[in-house]
Amino acid sequence: MSQVVVVDKPTNFIRNIIDKDLSQQLHNTIKTRFPPEPNGYLHIGHAKSICLNFGLAEDYDGKCNLRFDDTNPTKEDIEFVGSIKKDISWLGFGWAGESNFSSNYFAKFYAYAIELIEKGLAFVDFSSADEIKQLRGNLTESGKNSPYRDTSVEENLEHFKKMSSGEYKEGQCVLRAKINMSSSFMCMRDPAMYRIKFAHHHQTGDDWCIYPMYDFAHCLSDAIENITHSLCTLEFQDNRRLYDWLLEHIDEFNKPNRPHQYEFSRLNLAYTVMSKRKLQQLVEDDLVSGWDDPRMPTISGMRRRGYTPRSIRNFAERIGISKVDSMTEMSVLEASVRDDLNLIAPRTMAVIEPIKVIIENYMNAGVEKIQAPKHSQDETMGKREIHFSSELYIDKADFIETAPNKKWKRLAIGKEVRLRNSYVIKAERFDIDKNNEITTIYCSYDLATLGKNPSDGRRVNGVIHFVEATTAVNAQFNLYDRLFNIENPIKAENFAEVINPDSLVVKNGFVEPSMQNAVAEQAYQFEREGYFCRDNKSKELVFNKTIALRDTWSK
C-alpha cells in the first residue's frame, strides 16, 4: 500500500484530492506538469501555477514535467522557450527529465485523430469560419449541424490525409469532433481539432502543415505523459467536459487512472494585467521597454527590478489556492518582497537628489574612514567602510530653511541632525543660485558625537543619510512605481490613457564607493530610501528601485 506523504503546508482542496487519491491507491505517486504556451514571457500569475505544480511534486515526492504546449507556430518563438526555462529555474524549481513539447507527439495526435474519424466521432468540415460560427449558436440558442457532419468515414479519412499532405488551402477546411451541437457547453458543440497552417514550427520545422488545436493536444499530452493531476485555472472549467470526452473516446486512455483536470482561481492582481496578449500589446505599443521592463508583472521584469525568488514563492503561499475569483491587493505582493529583502539586503547609502554640504569647522586633512554595519539587525553580515570629510552630499528633501514645527526631524537652519553612522551636524547658512535653488549648505559638526550623544545632554532627534563627496560614485536611479493608475486596467479601452506618468522617474545622484562593484540583481537597502538592485542590462551604474521601505499604497 502506498504511503501518503505528510507535508507541513496549509491544506487546500487540491491537496485533499491528492491525499484521497493516494490513500485509495488510484495512484502510487503524483505527477503534475506546468504546460506554458511559448507565445510570451511568464508573469506573476504563471508563478502561482509554477509554485503549485512544482511545489506539490516536491511535497509529495512526485514529479513535475515542463511541457511547452506549442500548437500554434504563428504565435510562438524559441526566445519564449528560453525565457520560460530561465524563469522556472530562477524560482528554484527543476523539472523531471528533459523539457517536453506537445510537438513531440504530433505523430501520435495524428493517429488519435484517425481513430476518432474511424469511430465516426470526427469529420472534415469545409464550411467557412463565419458559417461555422453562425451554426454554432450562442448561450441561448442551440447550434445546428454542419452540412458536412454526416460525411462517410472513408471520405473523412481521405480529406484528412489531403489536409496533412498540403492539398487544401489554409482556412479551406478543419477537422471537428462530432459531439453535440445542442450542448449547453459551447466547447462541446463539435469543436475544431485540427486546422491547416503553412507555418514554420520552431521544433518540427516544415514537417507539418496541419496543427492540432490546444484543447485537443493538451489533454492528450497529459495522458501520454501519465500526468495524474492536471491543474489549470477556472476559465478552463467548461473545457473539462471536452478534456474528459477525448480521453474517454481514445482507447489507449479510457481507464480509471487517466489524468483528471482540476481548476483553481487565477491570480488577479490590482493595478496590473494578467494576460500575455495584453502584455504583448504594451510591448508592441512601446508603452514599456520590453517584456523585462521592471514595471511589467513578468517574472523577468520582477527579477530585473530586484524581486527575489523566495519573495514570489512566499507570496504564492500567502494567497493560497481556492476556487473563488478575487482581486489581490498589490500590497500583499509587496509585503512578501519587503519581508524578504529586510532580512537579506545589506545596508548602504545613496543620495538620489544631491545637494552639497560643507562642514566649515572640519580641520582634518583628507577623508576619515568610519566602520558601519552592513545590517543593523544581523551582525553576521559584518561591517562596511564609509567616509566623512569637509564635503558631503545629502538629499535635497532633507533640508529646509526654517523647520515647520518642533517635530521636524531633518536639517534646517540652526537645527541639528545626526548623519547616519556618523557625527551630529548643524546647519548655519546656505547659498542659492539665480533661480533661488539651494546649491550649498554650510554646517558645523560636533567632533565628540561619533557613535555618541552630545555630552551636554542636547537631544538630537533626526537622522539623515549622506555620502562623502570626494569618494562618492555617480549613479543613475530608476524610481519605479505601479504601471497603471487604475486598479483594474484590463477594463481600459486605451492603455496609454491609464499609464501612471510616475511609473518611471529617472534621477542622477551618488552612492558609496563600494557600490561601484554592486552585483546585478543583488538586493541592497539604500537607507531611508528603499530597496534597490543594480540593473542587469545596463553597463553603467544603474540602480532600479525595487520597493519602498514602507507601504504607501494601502487603502
What pLDDT is attached to residue 2?
36
Alpha carbon distance 89, 303 (integer Å): 12
Is residue 302's pLDDT more than 80? yes
Q: Please identify which of the residues 258, 276, 410, 482 carries the catalytic annotation.
A: 276
Contacts of 309 (CB under 8 A, 6+ apart): 90, 91, 92
Residue ranges, comma separated, of all CATH 2.40.240.10 domains in the chain are 353-465
Residue ranges, comma separated, of all CATH 1.10.1160.10 domains in the chain are 269-346+475-547
Q: What are 176-185's pLDDT values in tens digits?
A: 999 999 999 9
Phi, psi of 101 (to 5 degrees): -135, 140
CATH class of 269-346+475-547: mainly alpha
Question: pTM to 2 decimals?
Answer: 0.93
Amino acid at site 269: L
Alpha carbon distance 55, 58 (integer Å): 5
* Known catalytic residue at 276: yes
Q: What are 504-522's pLDDT values in tens digits?
A: 999 999 999 999 999 999 9
Q: What are 216-253's pLDDT values in tens digits?
A: 999 999 999 999 999 999 999 999 999 999 999 999 99
Beta bridge mates, 484: 499
Per-residue pLDDT, averaged over 66-72, amounts to 98
Is residue 5's pLDDT more than 70? no
Is residue 12's pLDDT more than 60? yes
Return the H-helix or E-strand segment holding 14. Answer: helix 13-23
Q: What are 349-392's pLDDT values in tens digits?
A: 999 999 999 999 999 888 999 999 999 999 999 999 999 999 99
Is residue 348's pLDDT more than 50? yes
What pLDDT is attached to residue 226?
97
CATH class of 353-465: mainly beta
DSSP class of residue 489 equals G
Q: Please identify which of the residues 149, 241, 266, 318 carries the catalytic annotation.
A: 266
Is the Cβ–Cβ distance between 536 and 555 less than 8 Å? no
Q: What is the mean pLDDT of the chain?
A: 95
Helix axes 330-344, 309-319, angle to 10 degrees: 140
What pLDDT is attached to residue 554?
61
Q: Please identify which of the residues 37, 76, 512, 529 carries the catalytic annotation.
A: 37
Is residue 200's pLDDT more than 90? yes
Burial class (CB in 10 A: 0-12, 13-18, 19+), 328: middle
Return the H-helix or E-strand segment holding 16. Answer: helix 13-23
* Known catalytic residue at 266: yes
Cα–Cα distances in angstroms (integers) from residue 541 to residues 151, 463, 475, in the given order: 68, 27, 5
* Known catalytic residue at 37: yes
What pLDDT is attached to residue 8?
54
Cα–Cα distances in angstroms (integers) from residue 510 to residues 421, 424, 467, 535, in the given order: 18, 21, 7, 16
Confidence category of residue 493, pLDDT binned at 50, 70, 90: confident
The CATH T-level fold of domain 13-264 is Rossmann fold (3.40.50)
Q: What are 518-541's pLDDT values in tens digits?
A: 999 999 999 999 999 999 999 999
Alpha carbon distance 411, 454 (integer Å): 17
Contacts of 493 (CB under 8 A, 6+ apart): none
Q: What are 102-154's pLDDT values in tens digits?
A: 999 999 999 999 999 999 999 999 999 999 999 999 999 999 999 999 999 99
Cα–Cα distances in angstroms (integers) from residue 233 to residues 52, 120, 261, 322, in the given order: 12, 32, 10, 10
What pLDDT is attached to residue 555?
54
Residue ranges, comma separated, of all CATH 3.40.50.620 domains in the chain are 13-264
